[in-house]
Amino acid sequence: MSVKGYKVFNSDWTCLGKQYSCPGTFEESVSPSVCNAGMHFCKNAADCFRYYDFDPNSHVAEVIAHGTVAEGDNKCATNKLEIVREIPWAEVLEIVNTGKSCTGRCNSGNRNSGNWNSGDWNTTSFSNGCFNTVSPKIYMFNKPTDWTFEQWFNCRARRLLNEIDDCPLEYVYLSDMTDEEKAAHPEAETTGGYLKERTMADNARKWWEGLSADDRNVILSLPNFDAAIFKEITGIDVSNG
């Protein structure tokens, strides 16, 4: 079954080093896995801008996945992707706003000129109230900060956290299986591997282990960082290094 969606490309029609063209159909010999393998896209256009800047120099395209599709919370991966057409930016603005008469982006309220507002008549961004010109400050780790949600939305820490794999399953090839896994899954001798269930905490810890020291410091430098709260929510014990 085909899945329709949207994808953002750089100004030269590349994405993560892969060259695309519009229109065009592209295939990869992979088993799609969100954040791991395959060509990624979003079924909701607004979700694309969780991962890409709202830059008019970029290209936004309507796409159709014809191959195998793996789905995450707000993005998908496929091994066969058709780029149908480029979407003009005027149309992009209409698609990403669910409210009425908005000139910003990703607004669910009405008559907003800012971005990501759920209230009405705001010229600021990320407001759930009405008639606001100043962005509200947010809480982090249960304490107030001097950050607005827009600062959080655009910060490197958030982008790093978004790299945590949200797929609950991982295919483990026979050659990578431990003796214990082979004993528990004898069918792998025939199938070539097995599907391993993963928790969010497992994925988060694996992500943390793969971060550089500099990237870990970006997370640890968040306002009001609290190791106990971070562990409670993510499962990551930062004291383990």
Q: What residues are paired with 143 via a beta bridge?
A: 140
Helix (H), strand (E) counts: the chain: 9, 13
Tell me if 35 sits within 8 A of 84, measured CB to CB: no
- Output b/e per residue, 133-153; b: 16+ Cβ within 10 A: eebeebebeeeeeebbbbbbb
Residue 221 CB burial class (10 angstroms; 0-12, 13-18, ≥19) = exposed
pLDDT value of residue 201: 87
Nearest to 84 by CA among 109, 105, 60, 55: 60
pLDDT value of residue 103: 47
Phi, psi of 218 (to 5 degrees): -60, -45
pLDDT value of residue 120: 52
Mean pLDDT by 10 residues, the chain (241 residues): 92 94 95 90 88 83 94 91 91 66 48 51 56 74 88 89 76 89 89 82 90 96 96 90 64
pLDDT value of residue 23: 95
Query: CA-to-CA distance for 190 and 115, rounded, in angstroms?
Result: 52
Question: Residue 141: helix, strand or coil by DSSP?
Answer: coil
pLDDT value of residue 162: 84
pTM of the predicted structure, to 2 decimals: 0.50
CA 189 to chain centroid: 35
Domains, the chain: 3-93 (3.20.170), 97-135 (no CATH), 158-240 (no CATH)
